[in-house]
Amino acid sequence: MLRGDLLVVLATCVSLAAARRSPQADSTEKWLKSINTRYSDNVFEDALLDVPDLIRKYRYPVEVHSVTTEDGYILELHRIPHGRDANNVPNQKKPVVFILHGMTTSSADYVIMGPGRGLAYILAEEGFDVWIVVTTTLGDTSDWILTLN
């Protein structure tokens, strides 16, 4: 019987020790919260929006333009003509910035982090006329003519 009681006491002590909060828990939680600050607070919601809708969501002006290249490729451009908080007056003489994403990225890379963090928003707030060139598409590719020329 003593042996059974000893096992119950031992199991209780182990359970209590396991249920205690780790000494590093507070610093771990603080660290986890700090790494998330570089992303928009609504990163999952934002990920479901296309780029123009994402820009509109944060109350920035946005224009969508289509440009056809000499070889028939249609590029889409997203323009943020001015900032939302600072430099928020349309001005024809603003310096223009063209942003072109890399091969394995998209135009969303420049806005997904949200205002104050995304490059396109930062540039607009600093007084630039921001044009984001979109070279990728998820649309109909049946009209594409791909050659090695």
Structure tokens at 146: 């791909």
The region that residue 73 occupies, defined by phi over 0 for left and psi between -120 and 50 for alpha, beta otherwise, is beta
pTM: 0.64
Q: What is the pLDDT of residues 87-111, one digit of tens each?
A: 887 777 889 999 988 878 888 889 9
Domains in the chain, start-ordered, CATH in brackets? 2-36 (no CATH), 43-134 (3.40.50.1820)
Q: CA–CA separation, 85 vs 108, rounded Å? A: 21
Tell me which of 116 and 137 has the higher pLDDT.
116
Structure tokens at 112: 């997904």
